[in-house]
């Protein structure tokens, strides 16, 4: 499955709720399978902002919010 096909499958899930067969690492149903219960509780209660952490992770990879390479910002 190409990256574009994977992104299309995820977009389909987001817009229709229909999950097409996709690889486990891209399946949002499995996103928190390995996450400790204590962290899940904090995320569910809003103590941890998972959206903010995901955004920071993208930035640390040099990607924007669309997953497009934008490079690394200098922190000097």
**Range of 21's domain?**
3-48
Give domain status of residue 35, yes or no.
yes
pLDDT tens across 7-21, in order? 777 777 777 666 567
Give which of 67, 32, 72, 29 is closest to 48, Cα–Cα: 32
Please indicate, yes or no, if residue 70 is contained in any of the structural domains: no
Asked if residue 61 belongs to a domain, the reply is: no
More confident residue, 76 or 49: 49
State the pLDDT at residue 49: 98
- Residue 16 CA, chain-centre distance (Å), reads 18
Does the pLDDT at position 61 exceed 70? yes
17 found inside a domain: yes
- Residue 36 pLDDT greater than 90, yes or no: yes
Q: What is the pLDDT of residue 3?
A: 77
| Predicted model pTM | 0.66
If one counts the domains in the chain, the total is: 1
Distance CA 71, CA 60 (A): 9
């Amino acid at each position: 499955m190409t990256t574009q096909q994977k992104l299309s499958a995820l977009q389909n899930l987001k817009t229709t709720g229909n999950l097409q067969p996709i690889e486990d690492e891209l399946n949002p149903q499995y996103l928190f399978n390995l996450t400790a219960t204590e962290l899940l509780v904090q995320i569910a209660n809003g103590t941890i902002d998972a959206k903010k952490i995901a955004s920071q992770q993208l930035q640390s990879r040099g990607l924007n919010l669309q997953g497009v390479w934008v490079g690394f910002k200098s922190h000097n």
